[in-house]
A and B are shown apart, each in its own frame.
Chain A
Amino acid sequence: MRCCRPALLTPPLLLLTACSGWQSSLDPQGPQADLLAGLFWVFTAVLSAVWLLTMTALVVALLRRHPARTEPLELNTRPERGMARTVGAAAALTLVVVVALTVVSYGAQRALFSGGEAPLTLKVKGHQWWWEVTYEDPGPSRQFTTANEIHVPVGQPVHVKLESADVIHSFWVPNLAGKMDAIPGRENRLVIQASKEGVFRGQCTEFCGWQHAHMAITVVAHSLEDFERWRESQISAAEPPDDPVRKRGMQIFLSRPCVMCHQIRGTPAAGKVAPDLTHIGSRLHIAAGTLPNGRGNLAAWIVDPQGIKPGAHMPLIKLNAEEVEPLARYLEGLK
């Protein structure tokens, strides 16, 4: 297995993840995923045994000393009866296995979908090809929207309400829970919970068009204090830039069509059809998990979105060569 790209552009959190396992149902990191992995291994054990038994029966059937028979229709009743009993027993055994597995599965299903209270509720809305994430809160001023990245406190169940803005998507973070579809006109619910700190990757699993392959979501699990700190910073509006280069970047941003689609709270940019960029600098990835975040990749993405993610709804905005750098620096600084 190859390991992650150098993590120099990302916060140390990323180093916590076991790279090849950060989107794996076999490496459960929460109670739901634990339950599912356990169920999976029970099924695998039982069904592997069934397969081995069947293959053994087949091999024995082929290798045994076969009855001497010159004409195919010279059958004796005694072995025929024995065979009927054996086949009947095997069928009965199949029934037992199937009923047992159904019961086990049903038990897990009840545990999984039992609901219960959760202190935190998120609304995740699938778009072609990114995720809009809204942290709900009784106080409207404490509600905020971000994109493609979810932060959760360790040890707490989090309710995820799933919606879609266009076509059907499916939300899946295998280390934490099974998947659930986001369907236009409906609201589905899912509970995720992380049992330890780490970064987990999720991905859209319902084919949704050109860039279905590049529609990832990152889940960062922190301690409760770190989570609260993160939440406070996300609720706040973007801080105005202080150095001249970034100021120029902001001007470029605000004077270009960027504002038609993107929002940066605290500035006049209030577009709603594309990811909220208020704190883009704080995220691990850009373009829904397509590239690691960083000034260089931000610049690359702005210059050539259709080369990096063909078909994405981010258009190519003509910029002068010297405009790219300030713009990327401005965005990078939106922590």
Chain B
Amino acid sequence: MSETALRPHENKETLDTDVTDGELPARLAATWGTAGGLIGALSTVDHKLIGRRYIVTGFFFLVLGGLAAVAMRLQLARPENSLIGPDLYNQIFTMHGTTMMFLFGVPIGEAIAVYLVPLMVGTRNIAFPRLNAFSYYVYLFGGLMIWIAFALNVGADNGWFSYVPLAGPEFSPGKRADFWAQMVTFTEVAALAVAVEIVVTVLKLRAPGMTLDRIPLFVWAMFVNAFLIIFAMPAVMLASSLLILDRLLDTHFFNQAEGGDPLLWQHLFWFFGHPEVYIIFLPGTAFVSAIIATFARRPVFGYPAIVLSLIATGFLSFGLWVHHMFTTGLPQLGATFFTASSMMIAIPTGIQIFCWIATLWDGRPVYRTPLLFVLGFFFIFVAGGLSGIMLASVPIDTQVHDTYFVVAHFHYVLIGGAVFPLLGAIYYWFPKFTGRMMSERLGRWHFWLAIIGFNVAFFPMHLAGLRGMPRRVYTYPAEMGWDGLNLVSTLGATLFVASFLLFLFNVAASLRDGEIAGDNPWDASSLEWATASPPPPHNFDRIPFVTSREPLWAERQALPVVSGLAVDKREVVITTATRALPDLKESSPDPTIWPFVSAIAVGAVFIGSIFTPWAVAWGAPLAAFVIIAWFWPKSIEEDK
């Protein structure tokens, strides 16, 4: 066959205008589908399959992190308890924090974005779907690696913040801190890659007509969040890389005796670590905005204000990191600046809360489980945000910093701000993910058990902290008078755990015999509800043409769509970044096993490097080879 015969211009391809409406879904599903078998499953680049795995894996790590929390609560239930010794306790609290922040908090928000953002912007796959598959495997391997290390008694034990010099070569011999550092670097590769995919999906893959002011608030929040990840994660990757260099190659970045500085670690870590809190919280706002619009039965009030608040939150979150370092003896004037900026972030957050309350005020609230969790979010998160204002004050912080007051504060913020909306989100989108509704009755029990259990567990911690109980202690003397508060916390934690068991039961039972959902069970307005539940491999039979911010409410009769896309090859519509004018029909990559193989190769380099630096020298060319194999075009079709 001559080369010219394959040129696209002469090769007439089948467009959706060439087939009948009845034939179209099956043809598209065949083009976009995932092959059967293990190889097929590992080769898939369907954002919904990857997203589903991401979500399930995120919850799996939530369960592990939760079990670690249970162990801590049991140990602290009584003073001078000998259930868990200091060595194990330190590993457990480190694994709890590390898992919740790096393996659950950040990935779960991205996971839901991976599933929903392409559907909400009305396209057929995420941008860079192979990179997406690669990210998932990297995340999975990184998470498994640190938990397997823990099971082998090589669990990280310096806290999720791994302050030097404690985590440095002198005070943490052995491999524990190495596993921690490499896991962080490794999984943040995944977080960054997904962030890039989300940014490009939102900028270039929006359905025609979805101008900037028609982007759903959910997507805005995920978009801003992706930028936060892009600017924040390099800091922690740099920090963990410098740590591993100090540990394995005898560099001196954090060694004050040779010109380094332990506080350099803290600056780098918190430059990431504070935006991290917003990286966990912004997906929560995404869920809240979506759920409130649907269950208040009107669009969210103050769309421009909320979008601007999200952007302002993003910017301000990079000006707060020093408030984690108020007790390190920094110059007072600098500290004051960070007090002011830390308090200022209350304003954009407040504006969002006020807009949501206004939406409920003018709406006709429907009290289904997703909305209940959002109401729980208000109750808990607002309290956590306000205690955060206390921590922003340098003087108050010198009393409560590193005490249980702070533990209480950030659990109010993170569980209130991220986990309650997340649980609401699962109830809300479960029908879309699975085609079945979750049980409303169990949902209500779950909600009440969760909100009571949470408050009983975490409110007393404020008091324990004020009465002098420091964080990260494996035990405390009886005469401190903290035993009553701790016992109450443990009882509350038991209730909270019970609520999660109920949730898992509800998921399992509903998967089997939940009511069949249909396309749009809640009569919601965004595009993911315009297709089947669960969506077909190609998401939409025809790409929507967006005419309104609330497309499904504005177009009650028939959804405007575009035609003219290829049927037998994967093609997505590229639109212009602001006005969303249709511009190109770019081909979208086919399934391939190479991202999986690449993730294994890169993982092997990372794990090997813990034991010998030569792993990098030998592994890098191997990884490069695999990645080149991944990018090398497999057919002439892909070149078009």
A60 touches B361 (CB 8 A): yes
**Interface residue? A181 (CB, 8 A):** yes
Cα A8 to Cα B302 in complex, Å, equals 67
How far, in whole Å, are A172 and B406 apart by their CA atoms in the complex? Answer: 15
Q: Could you tell me the distance between the alpha carbons of A71 and B363 in the complex, rounded to whole angstroms?
A: 11
Q: A83 to B298: give the CA distance in the assembly, Å.
A: 14
Interchain nearest-CB distance for B340 vs A (Å):
5
Which of B347, B362, B468, B480 has a CB less than 8 Å from the CB of A25? B468
Taking the nearest CB of chain B, how far is it from the CB of A56, in angstroms?
Answer: 10
Alpha-carbon separation in the docked complex, A264 to B346 (Å): 56
Contact between B261 and A203 (Cβ–Cβ < 8 Å)? no
Q: Quick one: which of A47-75 are within 8 Å of B by CB?
A: 47-48, 50-51, 54-55, 57-58, 60-62, 64, 66-67, 69, 71-73, 75
Stretch from B384-392, B592-600, B609-617 forming part of the interface with A: B384-392
Question: Contact at A66–B302, with CB atoms within 8 Å?
Answer: no
Instruction: Provide the bound-state CA to CA distance between A205 and B470, in Å.
Output: 6
Partner of A189, one of B302, B327, B329, B397: B329
- For B293, give the chain A residue with the smallest CB separation: A72
Residues of A contacting B402 with CB < 8 Å? 170, 179, 205-207
Fill in one digit per residue for B156-187: 1 if any A CB lies within 8 Å of its CB, else 0: 00110001011000110000000000000000
Instruction: Please give, as numbers and ranges, the residues of chain A lying within 8 Å of B360 by CB-CB distance.
Output: 58, 61-62
Find out whether the CB atom of B554 lies under 8 angstroms from the CB atom of A73.
Answer: yes
Whether the Cβ atoms of A211 and B399 lie closer than 8 Å is: no
- Whether, in the assembled complex, B472 has its beta carbon less than 8 Å from a beta carbon of chain A, the answer is yes
Q: Within 8 Å CB of A168, what residues of B?
A: 163, 165-166, 262
Q: Does A217 contact B (CB under 8 A)?
A: no
A33 CA to B399 CA in the complex, in Å? 9
Is the CB of A155 closer than 8 A to any CB of chain B? no
Cβ 8 A contact of A183, one of B158, B263, B470: B263
| Contact flags B318-344 to A (C-beta < 8 A → 1, else 0) | 000000000111001001100110011
Is there a chain A Cβ closer than 8 Å to B355's Cβ?
yes
**CA A102 to CA B299, docked complex, whole Å:** 35
B35 close to A (CB within 8 Å): no
What 1/0 mask marks residues of chain A from 12 to 29 whose CB sits below 8 Å from any chain B CB? 000000011101111000
- The contact string, 1 if C-beta is below 8 Å from chain A, for chain B 350-363, is 11011101101111
- A95 touching B257, Cβ below 8 Å: no
Q: Which residues of B contact A311 (CB under 8 A)?
A: 86-87
Tell me how many residues of A have a C-beta within 8 Å of chain B.
92
**Does B329 lie within 8 Å of A183, measured CB to CB?**
yes
Partner of B302 from the list A5, A54, A87 (CB cut-off 8 Å) is: A87
CB <8 Å contact, B468 and A24: yes
B298 contacts A75, C-beta separation under 8 Å: yes
How many angstroms between the C-alpha atoms of A75 and B301 in the bound complex? Answer: 10
**Residue in B171, B261, B293, B383 whose CB lies within 8 Å of A209:** B171
B361 touches A64 (CB 8 A): yes
B362 touches A167 (CB 8 A): no
Nearest CB in chain B: distance from A294 CB, A: 15
Q: How far is the CB of B172 from chain A (nearest CB, A)?
A: 8
Complexed CA–CA distance, A113 and B329 (Å) = 11
Using Cβ atoms and an 8 Å threshold, which residues of chain A touch B86?
Answer: 210-211, 213, 310-311
B37-45, B141-149, B374-382, B434-442: which one contacts chain A? B374-382
Flag if A25 contacts B479 (CB, 8 Å).
no
A36 interface residue per 8 A CB criterion: yes
Contact B478 A2 (CB under 8 A): yes
Known contacts A25-B466, A61-B358; A105 and B394 CB within 8 A of each other: yes
Of chain B, the residue at the smallest CB distance from A184 is B256
B471–A207 CB distance below 8 A: yes
Q: Which residue in A48, A54, A181 is a CB contact (below 8 Å) of B329?
A: A181
A44 to B383, CA, bound (A): 11
**In the complex, residue of chain B having the shortest beta-carbon distance to the beta carbon of A50:** B386
- A181 to B166 alpha-carbon distance, docked (Å): 14
Cα separation A208 to B361 with both chains bound (whole Å)? 50
Give Cα A172 to B483, complex, Å. Answer: 21
A112 within 8 Å of B by Cβ? yes
| Whole-angstrom CA separation of A98 from B344 in the bound complex | 7
| B401 is an interface residue with CB less than 8 A from chain A | yes
A258–chain B nearest beta-carbon distance, Å:
24
- Say yes or no: A95 contacts B466, CB within 8 Å: no
A108 within 8 A of partner (CB): yes
Is B350 touching A91 in the complex (CB atoms < 8 A)? yes
Q: Mark A176-201, 1 if CB is under 8 A from B, else 0.
A: 01111101111011000000000001
A35 CB–B CB distance under 8 Å: yes
Contacts of B395 in A (CB 8 A): 35-36, 39, 105, 108-109, 112, 178
**Bound complex: CA of A91 vs CA of B475, how far in Å?**
43
A116 interface contact, C-beta 8 A = no
A1 to B481, CA, bound (A): 5
Q: In the complex, A178→B390 CA distance in Å?
A: 14
Determine if B297 is an interface residue (Cβ-Cβ < 8 Å): yes
A9 to chain B, nearest CB (A): 13
Question: Could you say which residues of chain A place their CB within 8 Å of the CB of B297?
Answer: 69, 72
B471 to A: closest C-beta gap in Å: 7
- A223 CB-CB contact with B under 8 Å: no
Report if B467 contacts A (CB, 8 A): yes
Contact in complex: B472, A212 (CB < 8 Å) = yes
Contact B553 A184 (CB under 8 A): no
| B550, A73: Cβ atoms closer than 8 Å | yes
Which of the residues B165, B350, B389, B466 comes within 8 Å of A47, measured between beta carbons?
Answer: B389
CA distance A207 to B164 in the complex (A): 11
Q: Answer whether residue A319 sits at the interface, using C-beta atoms and an 8 A cutoff.
A: no
Among A94, A112, A166, A204, chain B packs the most CB atoms within 10 A around the CB of A94
Give the docked Cα–Cα distance between A67 and B365 (Å).
11
CB nearest neighbor in A for B90:
A210
B128 interfacial by beta-carbon distance below 8 Å: no
The residues of B that contact A180 with a CB separation of less than 8 Å are: 327, 329, 398
Residues of A within 8 A of B550 (CB): 72-73
Question: Which residues of the other chain, B, contact A87 by a CB distance below 8 angstroms?
Answer: 301-302, 305, 351, 354-355, 358
Q: Does A79 contact B (CB under 8 A)?
A: yes
Q: For chain A residues 234-267, which have a beta carbon within 8 Å of chain B?
A: none
A33, A167, A181, A189: the one within 8 Å of B165 (CB): A167
Closest residue on chain A to residue B305 by CB atoms:
A87
Contacts A178-B395, A180-B329; A91 near B483 (Cβ below 8 A): no
B305 & A167 in contact (Cβ 8 Å cutoff): no
List of A residues within 8 angstroms of B166 by Cβ: 167-168, 207-209
Q: Evaluate whether A106 and B336 lie within 8 angstroms (CB atoms) in the complex, with A25-B466, A67-B362, A172-B470 already known.
A: yes
**Across the interface, which residues of B come within 8 angstroms of A184, CB to CB?**
165, 256, 262
Contacts of A62 in B (CB 8 A): 360, 365, 375
A 145-160 binary contact with B (CB < 8 Å = 1; else 0): 0000000000000000
Q: Does A80 reach chain B (CB closer than 8 Å)?
A: yes
Closest chain A residue to B263, Cβ basis: A183
- A55-B478 contact given A47-B389, A105-B396, A207-B166, CB 8 Å threshold: no
Interface centre among B256, B299, B350 (most CB of A within 10 A): B350
- Asked if B364 is at the interface (CB within 8 A of a chain A CB), the reply is yes
Chain A nearest CB from B96 CB (Å) reads 13
With A55-B378, A94-B346, A101-B343 in contact, do A83 and B361 touch (Cβ < 8 Å)?
Answer: yes
CA distance A72 to B382 in the complex (A): 28
Cross-chain pairs A/B with CB under 8 angstroms, 22 sampled: A3-B479, A20-B467, A36-B395, A51-B382, A51-B386, A55-B378, A66-B362, A66-B364, A84-B302, A98-B347, A101-B343, A106-B336, A112-B395, A170-B327, A170-B402, A179-B398, A181-B328, A184-B256, A186-B263, A186-B329, A209-B171, A213-B474
Residues of chain B whose beta carbon lies under 8 Å from any beta carbon of chain A: 85-87, 90, 158-159, 163, 165-166, 170-171, 256-257, 261-263, 293, 297-299, 301-302, 305, 327-329, 332, 335-336, 339-340, 343-344, 346-347, 350-351, 353-355, 357-358, 360-365, 375, 378-379, 382-383, 386-387, 389-390, 392-403, 466-468, 470-481, 483-484, 525, 550, 553-554
Q: A166-B165, A203-B468 are in contact. List 8 more A-B contacts (CB 8 A).
A: A23-B480, A48-B386, A105-B394, A109-B335, A180-B398, A185-B256, A209-B171, A213-B473
